[in-house]
């Protein structure tokens, strides 16, 4: 298919994309008592518990510790949730894929997007925390859109990769939950990176994309400063590379999905 045809096909399904995101959001909290308030309450409660536990160790080392903590938590939770849900995105829609011709990646895209909407709610809670902890606000905060968009693209790439491999090997789901657990501990969310051995810290700084996104975000939102240009470029590259990897694997294998779902 040439480029114009392909673009037209993609645009043809934009309404479906919106509908799928709306469906996910609607159904998530339908029939629940507090509804969307959970999207704000949950991160707040997590932050509270973690602050109480970890401030014993690190409060003196980190300024505005609750905000520091929550920033990392909220972004990491988005990555974890969007990738975990993405894994099932293709297999959950197996029935549909067997009956109608629909671009297969649309389900993964919609899943990551609805997690993103959740992230936006959590950011509302984050703003509340900033006010409570009396973090000085500044115009730098508007720039948080940069790390957030980079993270979004990163998660789409990762989600695409995971959703296609889960079609063939269902136990990727179990493996992934352990991977994210280890990943979380290797990301300075509730401890400062300075507390690590310098060699380990260097590895994390260069090879942990979550560290990069969280750092850029934290610097802007909590400490009103702009990260080094190197870090910004690294973030963008990771996003781009992940997207390419995820799309490539997805496209390569999508023809075989029908045989395994």
Partner 1 sequence: MNESNVIIELNDVTIRYNIASEKIYDLKEYAIKMLTGKLHFKEFFALNDVSFQIHQGESWGIIGKNGAGKSTLLKTICGIIDPYRGSVKAEGYIAPMIELSAGMDSNLTAAENIFLNGAILGNSRKFMKTHFDEIVDFAEIHKFLETPIKNYSSGMRARLGFAVATIVKPDILIVDEVLAVGDFEFRKKCENRIQELLEGGTTLLLVSHAVNDIKKLCDNAIWIEDGKVRMIGDSKTVCDSYMESGKS
Q: Residue 22 CB, nearest distance to partner 1 (Å)?
A: 9
Contacts of 200 (CB under 8 A, 6+ apart): none
Distance CA(106)–CA(246), nearest Å, equals 13
Tell me how long the chain is.
Answer: 261
Residues near partner 1 (CB under 8 A): 12-13, 15-16, 18-20, 23, 26-27, 30, 95-102, 169-172, 175, 255, 258-259
Q: Residue 260 CB, nearest distance to partner 1 (Å)?
A: 9
In the 8-state DSSP scheme, what is residue 1? -
Closest CB to partner 1 among 29 and 140? 29
Q: Residue 198 CB, nearest distance to partner 1 (Å)?
A: 36
Closest CB to partner 1 among 19 and 137? 19
Closest CB to partner 1 among 37 and 102? 102
Q: Which of 204, 182, 184 is nearest to 193 (CA)?
A: 204
Closest CB to partner 1 among 27 and 203? 27
Q: Residue 100 CB, nearest distance to partner 1 (Å)?
A: 6
Closest CB to partner 1 among 27 and 244? 27
What does the angle CA 114 – CA 242 – CA 112 come to, to the nearest 5 degrees?
5
User: And the tokens for 105?
Assistant: 């990646």
Q: Residue 6 CB, nearest distance to partner 1 (Å)?
A: 14
Closest CB to partner 1 among 104 and 218? 104
Q: Residue 88 CB, nearest distance to partner 1 (Å)?
A: 14
Contacts of 176 (CB under 8 A, 6+ apart): 83, 84, 87, 162
The structure tokens 């269902």 sit at 170
Where does the chain have alpha helices with state H?
Answer: 3-12, 14-29, 37-58, 65-92, 94-99, 105-132, 145-168, 172-185, 198-207, 209-221, 229-253, 257-260
């Amino acid at each position: 298919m040439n480029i114009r045809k392909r673009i037209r096909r993609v645009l043809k399904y934009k309404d479906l994309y919106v509908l799928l995101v709306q469906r996910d959001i609607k159904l998530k909290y339908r029939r629940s008592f507090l509804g969307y308030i959970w999207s704000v309450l949950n991160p707040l409660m997590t932050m509270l518990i973690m602050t109480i536990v970890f401030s014993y160790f690190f409060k003196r080392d980190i300024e505005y510790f609750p905000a520091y903590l929550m920033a990392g938590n909220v972004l990491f939770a988005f990555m974890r949730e969007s990738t975990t849900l993405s894994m099932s995105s293709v297999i959950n829609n197996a029935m549909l894929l067997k009956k109608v011709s629909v671009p297969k990646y649309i389900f993964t895209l919609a899943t990551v997007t609805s997690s993103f909407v959740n992230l936006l709610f959590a950011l509302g809670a984050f703003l509340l925390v900033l006010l409570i902890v009396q973090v000085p606000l500044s115009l730098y905060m508007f720039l948080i859109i940069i790390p957030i968009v980079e993270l979004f693209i990163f998660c789409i790439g990762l989600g695409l990769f995971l959703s296609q491999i889960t079609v063939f090997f269902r136990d990727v789901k179990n493996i992934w939950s352990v991977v994210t657990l280890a990943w979380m501990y290797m990301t300075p969310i509730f401890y400062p990176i300075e507390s690590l051995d310098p060699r380990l810290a260097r590895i994390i700084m260069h090879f942990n994309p979550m560290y990069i996104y969280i750092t850029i975000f934290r610097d802007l939102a909590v400490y009103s400063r702009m990260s080094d240009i190197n870090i910004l470029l690294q973030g963008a590259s990771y996003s781009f590379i992940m997207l390419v990897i995820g799309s490539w694997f997805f496209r390569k294998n999508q023809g075989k999905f029908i045989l395994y779902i």
